[in-house]
């Protein structure tokens, strides 16, 4: 009932108003059609009242009209109620039909789901069988491939060993030939090296000899040049003493110098036989200080302590 009220509130409200109107009309309309009767006075007083028959007829017709109106309203309400009942019955039938349709649809969907599950299970079963078969074939193929590879590996290993033995033999042969070739080349190179070393040594010896000869000649020239320069400087600073006697006198003098040529010592090691001449020579050497020095380090060492013969040229 409450569900019907929620679904059709307007129809319910109109039906309720109609029922209330009919009830009010039935309660208050009858009293209005029957006017109040006058109260009889106490006592035996008798009054005569005239009744208007037309008025009574109108009241009767009005009452009948109200009854007809009420009956029509009741009929209309009843028809509305029946229509509402039919509508509700139709709605119930439609809902029941929809429920049956939904149940049928659900049942069909469930059957379809089960069928799909069955098909999926069948497909999965076939897939697993196919996979198992494929795995078995793959395993068999892998085993055949493994055996083939083992045979191929064995064949390659044998071929490799043979090739390696052949390579080693050829390498040994080649190495021996190379060794002999290198030995010959080494001997030739050694002989060539010895020849070149010998020639280089001979050339170096000749060059050293020539250099030594050139150095000796150079030193000889420098020695002679320095000696002559010393003699000239001493000669230029020498004065013949009056008592020197003959002009052919000579004296051998030892002289010590420092690195710059300064005279450190003058000593007559072989006298001329004339003391005055010997003293004049010593004096001339001291006056010639510093004496000329060679440029060669070896000759400098030689001229720091040397002996020369002084023979006057004037």
CA distance 101 to 226: 149
268 forms beta bridges with 253
- Cα four-point dihedral sign 183, 186, 191, 194: negative
pLDDT on residue 217: 85
Examine residue 114 and state whether it is found in any structural domain, yes or no: no
The distance between the two most distant Cα atoms of the chain, rounded to a whole number of Å, is: 241
CA distance 61 to 66: 8
pLDDT on residue 212: 77
Examine residue 181 and state whether it is found in any structural domain, yes or no: no
Owning domain of residue 241? 211-310
Q: For the chain, which ranges sit under pLDDT 50?
A: 30, 32, 46
CA distance 90 to 59: 45
Q: What confidence tens digit (pLDDT) does each residue in 170-179 have?
A: 989 998 989 9
Closest CA to 294 of 211, 235, 213, 228: 228
Q: What confidence tens digit (pLDDT) does each residue in 61-90 have?
A: 999 999 999 999 999 999 999 989 899 989
Examine residue 150 and state whether it is found in any structural domain, yes or no: no
CA distance 291 to 123: 131
What is the rounded average pLDDT for all residues in the chain? 85
Number of domains in the chain: 1
Examine residue 31 and state whether it is found in any structural domain, yes or no: no
H helices within the chain, ranges in order? 2-7, 9-33, 53-236, 275-287, 297-303
- Cα four-point dihedral sign 9, 14, 18, 23: positive
CA distance 162 to 47: 166
pLDDT on residue 215: 80
pLDDT on residue 243: 72
| Residues 41-73: b if buried by 16+ CB within 10 A, e if exposed | eeeeeeeeeeeeeeeeeeeeeeeeebeeebeee
Sort 254 into a burial class: Cβ within 10 Å, 0-12 / 13-18 / 19+. middle
CA distances, 277 to each of 88, 91, 233, 255 (Å): 182, 178, 17, 17
Residue found by looking up tokens 């349709």 in the block: 101
CA distance 208 to 202: 10
Query: Domain of 300: which CATH number?
Result: 3.30.1150.10
Examine residue 290 and state whether it is found in any structural domain, yes or no: yes
pLDDT on residue 32: 43
Examine residue 141 and state whether it is found in any structural domain, yes or no: no
pLDDT on residue 61: 94
pLDDT on residue 117: 83
Examine residue 302 and state whether it is found in any structural domain, yes or no: yes
CA 63 to chain centroid: 110
CA distance 109 to 101: 12
CA distance 180 to 189: 14
Q: What confidence tens digit (pLDDT) does each residue in 18-66 have?
A: 878 877 767 565 454 555 555 555 555 545 555 578 999 999 999 999 9
Examine residue 120 and state whether it is found in any structural domain, yes or no: no
CA 38 to chain centroid: 123
Contact 265, 256 (CB under 8 A): yes
């Amino acid at each position: 009932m409450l569900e019907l009220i929620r679904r059709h509130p307007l129809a319910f409200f109109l039906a309720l108003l109609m029922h209330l109107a009919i009830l009010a009309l039935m309660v208050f309309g009858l009293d209005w059609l029957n006017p109040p009767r006058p109260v009889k006075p106490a006592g035996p007083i008798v009054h005569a009242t005239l009744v208007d028959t037309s008025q009574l007829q109108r009241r009767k017709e009005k009452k009948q009209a109200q009854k007809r109106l009420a009956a029509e309203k009741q009929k209309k309400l009843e028809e509305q109620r029946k229509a509402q009942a039919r509508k509700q019955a139709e709605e119930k039938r439609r809902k029941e039909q929809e429920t049956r349709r939904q149940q049928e649809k659900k049942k069909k969907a469930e059957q379809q789901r089960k069928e799909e599950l069955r098909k999926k299970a069948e497909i999965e079963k076939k897939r697993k069988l196919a996979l198992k078969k494929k795995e078995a074939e793959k395993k068999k193929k892998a085993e055949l491939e493994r055996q083939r590879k083992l045979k191929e590996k064995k064949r390659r290993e044998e071929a490799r060993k043979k090739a390696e033995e052949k390579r080693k033999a050829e390498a040994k042969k080649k190495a021996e030939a190379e060794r002999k070739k290198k030995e010959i080349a080494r001997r030739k190179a050694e002989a060539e090296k010895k020849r070149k070393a010998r020639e280089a040594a001979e050339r170096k010896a000749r060059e050293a000899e020539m250099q030594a000869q050139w150095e000796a000649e150079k030193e000889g020239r420098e020695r002679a040049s320095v000696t002559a320069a010393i003699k000239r400087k001493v000669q230029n600073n020498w004065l013949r003493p009056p008592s020197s006697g003959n002009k052919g006198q000579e004296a051998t003098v030892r002289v010590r110098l420092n690195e710059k040529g300064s005279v450190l010592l003058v000593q007559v090691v072989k006298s001329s036989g004339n003391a005055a001449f010997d003293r004049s020579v010593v004096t001339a050497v001291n006056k010639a200080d510093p004496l000329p020095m060679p440029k060669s380090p070896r000759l400098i060492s030689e001229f720091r302590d040397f002996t020369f013969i002084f023979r006057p040229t004037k």
